[in-house]
Amino acid sequence: MEKRRLYMDYSATTPVKKEVLDEMMPYFTENFGNASSFHTFGREAKTALDKARGQVANLINAKPNEIYFTAGGTESDNWAIEGVAFAHRSKGNHIITSKIEHHGILHICEYLEKHHGFEVTYLDVDDEGRVKLDELEKAIKDTTILISIMFANNEIGTIQPIKEIGEIAKKHNVLFHTDAVQAAGNVPIDVKELNVDLMSMSSHKIYGPKGIGVLYIKTGTKLHSFVHGGAQERRRRAGTENMPSIVGYGKAAELAKTNMDEHIERLTSLRTKLIDGILEKIPYTRVNGSLENRLPGNVNFSFEFIEGEGILLMLDMLGIAASSGSACTSGSLDPSHVLMAIGLPHEIAHGSLRLSIGDFTTEEDIDYIIEKLPAVIERLRMMSPLYDAVTKQK
C-alpha cells in the first residue's frame, strides 16, 4: 500500500497552481522576448511585464510604478534595509527592528552594524510575539532613519499592529518597512491605509513560482539602487527580467486577491479545528503566538519534554511534511530565536512544531494529523527521562 503523503508546510513554500503555470508556459517558448527590446517580441514581453506589475499592485492597493520585481523576499528585505541605510546616511545611522524578524532582516542589520557603523535597536516582543508600541516609540532617536517590523511572523503566525507602527513612524518622520512575505496574499493589505513606505513580498508563498519577489517602494521614497547595470526596474534593480516568473507572480497575485475571503475563512476554520483537536488530545502542549492576531493557516505548538527534530522524523515516516520553524534555518540545532524571544525556556522551545495549512489542505488531512500526532508525541515522551520524572510525581 502506498504511503500517504500529506503536506503541512505551506509557510515554507506552496505548489504552483495550474492556472499560474498555464500563464507562465508561453513565456518559456513562443513569447520569449526581452522586455527591453524595441521589436514586436520585446513589446509583447513589456506588455506582459506591465500587466503583472499591475496585478501585484492591485493585491496591496499600490500604484503599478511602486512595484519593483526582485529575486525573492530575502533580496527585497536586504534592498529595503541597505537601500535606506545608504541613501539616508547623512540624516542618521540608527535602525529599529525586532528580535523575531526573518534572518533576511536580522543578518543585513548585523552586516550594517559590523561593516558600516550603523546602530540597530532590536525590540523585545510580548509573549504573543507582538511589538510593544510604547517601547517602539521610546526607541526612536534623532538619528533614526528606518523602522523595519515584519507584518506577520513566519514561525508563530503573529500579525503585528502595522497600521499603528506606520502612524508612529510617520509622526516622527521615519521611514517604515515591513516584511510581508508571509502576509501578502494571505490577509488583506492596503498600503495606503497602513502608512507603509517599503514592503517585501514573495511569489512562492501564494502558489506562484520560486525565485521572484517584489519590493513595494512608495512614490517619493529615497532609496539606493540595489543592482547596477541596465535600466530595468526604473534603473533601481538592473538585469533582464525573469519574464515567466513575473507573469506567474502576477497571476498568483490576481488569484489571491479574488479568493481572499474564501481563503481566509476556510483556512481559519481548519486551523481552529487542528488547534482544538491537538490541545484536547495531547497534554503539556501550548500554542505559540497570538490566537486573535494570527495568519489564517499558521499553527505552532510546543510539546514539553521532547525535541522538534524527533517529531519531524516520525511525522515524515507517516508521510506528513511539517517544520520546526523557519525553512531558512532548518540546518540549525539551536532553538528558534522567535520562540526564545517570546519567553519560552530553552527546553520547551526545542520541542516546537509548525503545521501550516494551505489551499489544498482538506478536512480529512486535519483529521489525519489529529489521529496520528498524539501517538508520535507519546512515543517520544516515553523515551524522555524528564517526562518520566513528571508522570511519576503524579
Least reliable range by pLDDT among 61-70, 301-310, 330-339: 330-339
In terms of DSSP H, where are the helices of 88-218? 103-116, 133-139, 162-171, 191-194
Straight-line distance from the first to the last Cα atom of the chain, in angstroms, rounded to the nearest whole number = 42
Measured distance CA(189)–CA(33) in Å, rounded: 33
pLDDT tens digits along 57-98: 999 999 999 999 999 999 999 999 999 999 999 999 999 999
Measured distance CA(377)–CA(318) in Å, rounded: 13
Rg (CA), the chain: 22
Q: Mark whether 109 is an active-site residue.
A: no
Q: Which member of 328, 340, 370, 390 is catalytic?
A: 328
In terms of DSSP H, where are the helices of 189-242? 191-194
Edge-to-edge, what's the strand order for the sheet holding 298-303?
285-287, 298-303, 352-356
Measured distance CA(23)–CA(41) in Å, rounded: 17
- Chain-centroid distance, C-alpha 271: 18
Whether 56 contacts 201, CB under 8 Å:
yes
Whether 179 contacts 49, CB under 8 Å:
no
- Chain-centroid distance, C-alpha 213: 12
Whether 51 contacts 76, CB under 8 Å:
no
pLDDT tens digits along 29-66: 999 999 999 999 999 999 999 999 999 999 999 999 99
Q: Nearest-CA neighbor of 301 among 363, 344, 237, 256?
A: 344
Strands 198-202, 213-217: pairing kind: antiparallel
pLDDT tens digits along 194-237: 999 999 999 999 999 999 999 999 999 999 999 999 999 988 99
Q: Nearest-CA neighbor of 336 among 311, 300, 380, 377?
A: 300
Least reliable range by pLDDT among 1-10, 18-27, 273-282: 1-10
Question: H-helix or E-strand containing 87?
Answer: helix 73-87
- Chain-centroid distance, C-alpha 383: 35
Q: Which three cell numbers stand for residue 319?
A: 508521510
